[in-house]
Chains A and B, each alone.
Chain A
Amino acid sequence: MKLAGEKILPLSQDKVWSALNDPKILQDSIPGCESFETVSENNYRAVVAMKIGPVQAKFNGTVNITDIDPPSGYTLSGQGTGGSAGSAKGSAVVRLEPAEGGTRLTWDADARISGKLAQIGSRLVESSANMMANQFFGRFEQLLAGEKPSDAPVIVSAFLPSWFRIAGLISLLLVILLIIFLMR
Chain B
Amino acid sequence: MYNFDYVRPSSVSDAAQALSNNTDASLVAGGHTLIPTLKQRLAQPSALIDISQLAELKGIRSDGGNIVIGAATTHAEVAGSADVKAAIPALAELANGIGDRQVRHRGTIGGSVANNDPSADYPAALLGLGASVVTNRGRYDADSFFTGLFSTALHPGEIITAVHFPIPDKAGYAKFEQRASRYCLVSVFVAQKSGGIFSSGETRVAVSGAGQNGVFRVAEMEQALQGNFSPSGVSGIKVSSANLMNDMHGAADYRAALITAMAERAVGAASA
Contacts and interface: CB of A to CB of B under 8 A. Distances in A.
B33 A53 contact: yes
Looking at chain B's contact residues, is the secondary structure mostly helix, strand, loop, or mixed?
loop
Interface centre among B34, B36, B42, B213 (most CB of A within 10 A): B42
Contact of A57 (B34, B42, B115, B249): B42
Nearest to B107: A184
Interface in A68-96: 83-85
A2 interface: no
B40 A183 contact: yes
A39 interface: no
Contacts of A124: 118, 149, 245, 247
Given A53-B33, A54-B115, A126 B40 contact: no
B264 interface: no
B23 interface: no
A132 to B, nearest CB: 10
Task: Decide if the interface of chain A is mainly helix, strand, loop or mixed.
Answer: helix
A123 interface: yes
A116 B115 CA distance: 21
A55 B41 CA distance: 9
A131 to B, nearest CB: 5
B148 interface: yes
Nearest to A152: B156
B230 interface: no
A136 to B, nearest CB: 14
Nearest to A129: B212
Contacts of A184: 32-33, 36-37
B117 interface: yes
B247 A116 contact: no
Contacts of B156: 152
25 contacts: A53-B33, A53-B37, A53-B115, A53-B116, A53-B117, A53-B150, A54-B34, A54-B42, A54-B43, A54-B115, A56-B42, A116-B42, A122-B248, A123-B249, A124-B245, A124-B247, A125-B247, A126-B245, A127-B118, A182-B117, A183-B33, A183-B36, A183-B37, A184-B33, A184-B36
Given A126-B212, A182-B150, 11 more contacts: A53-B115, A54-B34, A54-B37, A57-B42, A85-B42, A123-B119, A124-B245, A127-B149, A182-B33, A183-B36, A184-B33
Interface of A: 52-57, 83-85, 116, 120, 122-128, 130-131, 152, 181-184
